[in-house]
Amino acid sequence: MTTTFREAIRAGMREALEGDPRVFLMGEDVGRYGGAFAVSMGLLEEFGPERVRDAPLSESAFVGAGIGAALAGMRPIVEVMTINFSMLALDQIVNNAATLRYMSGGQFSVPLVVRMTVGAGRQLACQHAHSLEAWYAHVPGIKAVAPATVADARAMVLAALEDPDPVFIFENAILYPLEGELEDGGLPLYRAAVRRAGTDVTLATYGGSVGKALEAAEQLAAEGVEAEVIDLRSLRPLDMDTVLESIAKTHRVVVVDEGWRTGSLAGEIGMQIAERGFDLLDWPPQRICSVEVPMPYAKHLEDAAIPNAERIVATVREMAI
């Protein structure tokens, strides 16, 4: 069945709400408004205000309440409007959600799912459009995933709810209108996927950049270069085996990551490649990240700040294939 990324997330949440009385959705404007990005539109009418719970602008309290409710047997899905807003809940996330299992010696776990939008491309400027998911992926005790396909948009919600630990789902907002097949490929949550097979260069990326990598791969194919596109899917834990298997074939790799370059996930992935796959490489690993500026508003400046297919193609052309 063909649907949109937005509707697929809603379908996943609807299935969860129908199937498990412990599941509820909580966040800013998830109910009556229908979600800031219309992801939860209609769920209030189906499930009522207890289970599709509008929370006021109290990110720390409602994310913390998600943690507490998870401790007491519920399966909350907490929606935070954007990753920039999630900074207001960072204490609850890093100091509580990520640590409670460890600091209690394994007595408590926090089966919490937190969803939030990330990414630029909609001219939302300096406080709504960043890709800070690497910060979350840095933290032991939480898991971080990023759907790039319609099928994953649904499947990741359901799989995340099965996990006994806190799972963060990062939704690149440019993907919401994306159309595709809803059916789940059945891939485990924390495994990477090969979205396009190729032999000459590996493009490893996730979320909103997967489509850009696929677009670049098509352009490169016209030039006789076959790129393999890896959708990482999970940012913590990272499925480096899949990346390294690809590099064993291609011997070249470009990591595409919408986060800033310094301290980026791309940096982490590149280092793991250096540690484990140095001998596989015929060319230094490359990365394409966002330019190190707060996200500008003007369209031409924003376009210049984030990765795109042209930058990927230009980078690959320099790699002596």
Partner 1 sequence: MSPARTKVAPALEREHILLLLREMLRIRRFEEKAAELYSLAKIRGFLHLYIGEEAVAVGAMQSLREDDRIVATYRDHGHALARGLPMGALMAEMYGKTTGCSGGRGGSMHFFDASRRFYGGYAIVGGGLPVALGLALADAMQGNPLVTACFFGDGAVVEGEFHETMNLAALWHLPLLFLYENNLYAMGTAIERSQAQLDMELRARGYGVPAEVVDGMDVLAVEKAVRRGVEAVRGGGGPHLVELKTYRFRAHSLADPDLYRTKEEVEQWRTTRDPIDLFVAQQQIDEATLGELEAAVNAELDEAVAFAEAGPWEPVETLEEHVTTPVAP
Of 138 and 249, the one with the shorter C-beta distance to partner 1 is 138
Of 85 and 260, the one with the shorter C-beta distance to partner 1 is 85
Of 63 and 225, the one with the shorter C-beta distance to partner 1 is 63
Compute the distance between CA of residue 222 and CA of residue 202 in angstroms, rounded to an integer.
Answer: 17
Residues serving a catalytic function are 59, 128
Compute the distance between CA of residue 180 and CA of residue 163 in angstroms, rounded to an integer.
Answer: 26
Compute the distance between CA of residue 210 and CA of residue 230 in angstroms, rounded to an integer.
Answer: 8
Compute the distance between CA of residue 269 and CA of residue 140 in angstroms, rounded to an integer.
Answer: 16
Tell me how far, at minimum, the Cβ of 89 lies from partner 1, in Å: 9
Tell me how far, at minimum, the Cβ of 201 lies from partner 1, in Å: 32
Of 72 and 320, the one with the shorter C-beta distance to partner 1 is 72
Q: Which residues bind partner 1 (CB under 8 A)?
A: 24, 50, 55-56, 58, 60-74, 76, 91-92, 95-96, 100-109, 140-141, 143, 163-165
Q: Is 238 exposed, middle or buried (0-12, 13-18, 19+ CB in 10 A)?
A: buried
Q: Which two tokens stand for residue 160?
A: 């995340």
Compute the distance between CA of residue 43 and CA of residue 53 in angstroms, rounded to an integer.
Answer: 10
Tell me how far, at minimum, the Cβ of 100 lies from partner 1, in Å: 7
Contacts 24+ apart (CB under 8 A), 163-166: 163/111, 163/113, 163/189, 164/109, 164/111, 165/101, 165/109, 165/110, 165/111, 165/141, 166/67, 166/70, 166/93, 166/97, 166/98, 166/110, 166/111, 166/112, 166/113, 166/114, 166/141, 166/142
Torsion angles phi and psi, residue 254, rounded to 5? -125, 130
Tell me how far, at minimum, the Cβ of 164 lies from partner 1, in Å: 4
Tell me how far, at minimum, the Cβ of 277 lies from partner 1, in Å: 24
Q: Are strands 227-231 and 193-196 parallel, antiparallel or unpaired?
A: antiparallel
Of 66 and 277, the one with the shorter C-beta distance to partner 1 is 66
